[in-house]
């Protein structure tokens, strides 16, 4: 049984906070100072270290920030797409500064290894530039002229847009929805996760300083307070939420009272189907390993279930175990670490309990890899990676989104069996098919209920900005990436001029 790490006492945390705090995630809005109580952000690799603090914004602050965004929206929305794009490019230049220290800060608060934090932070200016280039297209109008008259179809900004982001890739996932919202002409209000608010708030403070006051705002706080107040505020016209399915339901409930538009990217229980034509070379095995264990398994579209055709099942399991056994678990700032700790106590306890219940089913749980440092192991939310075999398909580890460093590997006999098991879930975010026969893999992929299906890959980078990204079933509403994301943040308006109404239904007007 794995011991649950003990969180330091309040007095110990206070002492460490005075010595170790490097950044406070404050409210950022229109250049004003907002006073609020704060809470600590603890390093999941060293629970005695307080990395920083974040503001506990309440309803009063939320209301003031929404009013700031409403005022800013009149200015930002009146600019042309070309003008907004130019300002966004300038802001991207600013975000390219100080990326190393922000990546280190992100690793300290989130736990993941440094190269992943560098990818996370470094994605912000790239995404901002991408949508800056698309911003001029927002002004394009469709004009239809025929014998009946003229219709003009155009996009209009929606208004204050709330962005709520998770703790696994906070900077990148925030910018992935914030940037198209800005391009569409909307002011934004970001609610960071309380588990990783520091690097994101620092990044957004830099962004806010380069744009008109109130265009970019940050409201740190608890989801139950700041988040709930934002999604239910009558001045908010759009909510872009990325996170768990249960919290997504709460967001929908909160937004329903004002009929606020909501887009959701929710959980996933992504299947990967490995066909007997896959060719189990070292590259494929390592690609699948990365697709499972990146960010310690805490990515919405990591592989969560592996289905392997029976003819190659034993060979795959042997090679996969060997590859997973190479993983080194340690502090994300140490370059010798392959993966870091889990991000928070709740996630640690959830995955630990899931593994304990899995063992009780009689499944084989192979705990693999090695500890980088035995000394501080129990002072962080560390778990070694595991591979699970001999597990019934109806087991909890197969049916839920485990969000941790473990994966079930299940054999199948024919394609019908594989597709049935892959689709036997309430989720439908992403999936993958692995085969040297790409056409066959694509044919199998067409039968899977998922918003994205990849062939021979399944990780960050598989879904690029040229393809829509989002979930089916309970994995979300709406689509991100490209112009699809801008359309999610825009109102379509039709302007119609019909000089001759004689053909309209009903009696003629004389």
**Rg over CA atoms, the chain:** 24
Cβ atoms of residues 449 and 269 within 8 Å: no
| Rounded Cα distance, 468 and 168, in Å | 21
Which two tokens mark 287?
Answer: 């690609």
Catalytic residue among 194, 265, 401, 488: 265
427-459: b or e for each residue (b if 16 or more CB lie within 10 Å)? bbbbbbbbbeeeeebeebbeebbbbbbbbbbbb
| Rounded Cα distance, 390 and 388, in Å | 7
Cβ atoms of residues 162 and 191 within 8 Å: yes
Residues 6+ apart with CB under 8 A from 237: 158, 159, 160, 161, 186, 260, 261
C-alpha separations of 199 from 51, 105, 171, 313, 432 in Å: 11, 6, 7, 42, 32
Q: Any alpha helices (H) in 141-281, and if so which ranges?
A: 170-183, 198-210, 228-231, 245-256
42-74: b or e for each residue (b if 16 or more CB lie within 10 Å)? bbbbbbbbbbbbbbbbbeebbebbbbbbbbbbe
Cβ atoms of residues 220 and 194 within 8 Å: yes
> Is 118 annotated in the active site?
no
Q: 379: which DSSP letter?
A: G
Going by C-alpha positions, the residue among 332, 323, 427 that lies closest to residue 366 is: 323
490: alpha, beta or left? (left if phi > 0; alpha if psi -120 to 50) = beta
β-pairing verdict for 271-274 and 430-434: parallel
| Rounded Cα distance, 431 and 300, in Å | 11
Active-site residues: which are they?
A: 265
């Amino acid at each position: 049984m794995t011991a649950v790490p003990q969180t330091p006492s309040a007095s110990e945390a206070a002492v460490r906070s005075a010595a170790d705090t490097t950044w406070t995630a404050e409210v950022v809005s229109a250049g004003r100072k907002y006073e609020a109580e704060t809470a600590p952000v603890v390093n999941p690799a060293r629970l005695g270290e307080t990395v920083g603090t974040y503001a506990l914004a309440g309803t009063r602050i939320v209301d003031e920030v929404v009013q700031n965004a409403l005022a800013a929206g009149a200015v930002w929305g009146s600019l042309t797409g070309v003008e907004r794009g130019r300002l966004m490019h300038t802001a991207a230049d600013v975000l390219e500064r100080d990326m190393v220290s922000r990546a280190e800060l992100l690793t300290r608060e989130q736990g993941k290894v440094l190269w992943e934090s560098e990818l996370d932070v470094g994605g912000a200016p790239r995404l901002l530039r991408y949508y800056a280039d698309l911003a001029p297209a927002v002004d394009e109008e469709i004009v239809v002229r025929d014998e009946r008259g003229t219709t003009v179809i155009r996009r209009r900004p929606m208004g204050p847009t709330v962005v709520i982001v998770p703790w696994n890739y906070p900077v990148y996932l925030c910018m992935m929805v914030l940037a198209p919202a800005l391009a569409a002409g909307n002011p934004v209000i970001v609610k960071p996760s309380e588990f990783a608010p520091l690097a994101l708030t620092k990044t957004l403070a830099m962004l806010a300083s380069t744009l008109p006051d109130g265009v970019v705002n940050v409201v740190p706080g608890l989801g139950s307070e700041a988040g709930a107040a934002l999604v239910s505020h009558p001045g908010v016209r759009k909510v872009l939420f990325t996170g768990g399915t249960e919290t997504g339901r709460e967001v929908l409930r909160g937004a329903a009272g004002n009929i606020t538009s909501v887009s959701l990217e929710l959980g996933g229980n992504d299947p990967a189907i490995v066909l007997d034509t896959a060719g189990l070379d070292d590259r494929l095995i390592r690609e699948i390993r990365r697709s499972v264990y990146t960010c310690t398994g805490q990515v919405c579209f990591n592989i969560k279930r592996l289905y392997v055709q029976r003819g190659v099942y034993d060979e795959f399991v042997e090679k996969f175990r060997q590859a997973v056994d190479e993983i080194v678990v340690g502090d994300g700032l140490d370059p010798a670490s392959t993966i870091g700790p889990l991000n928070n106590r709740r996630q640690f306890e959830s995955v630990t309990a899931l593994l304990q219940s899995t063992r009780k089913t009689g499944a084989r749980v192979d705990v693999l890899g090695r500890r980088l440092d035995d000394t501080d192991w129990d002072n962080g939310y560390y778990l070694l990676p595991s591979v699970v075999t001999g597990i019934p398909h109806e087991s909890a580890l197969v049916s839920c989104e485990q969000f941790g460093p473990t994966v079930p590997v299940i054999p199948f006999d024919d394609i019908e069996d594989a597709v049935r098991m892959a689709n036997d879930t309430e989720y439908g975010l992403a999936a993958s098919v692995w085969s040297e026969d790409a056409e066959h893999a694509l044919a199998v992929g067409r039968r899977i209920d998922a918003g994205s299906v990849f062939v021979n890959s399944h990780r960050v980078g598989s879904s690029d900005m040229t393809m829509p990204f989002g979930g089916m079933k309970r994995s979300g509403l709406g689509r991100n990436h490209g112009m699809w994301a801008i359309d999610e943040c825009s109102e379509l308006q039709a302007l119609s001029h019909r000089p001759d109404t004689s053909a309209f239904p009903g009696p003629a007007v004389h």
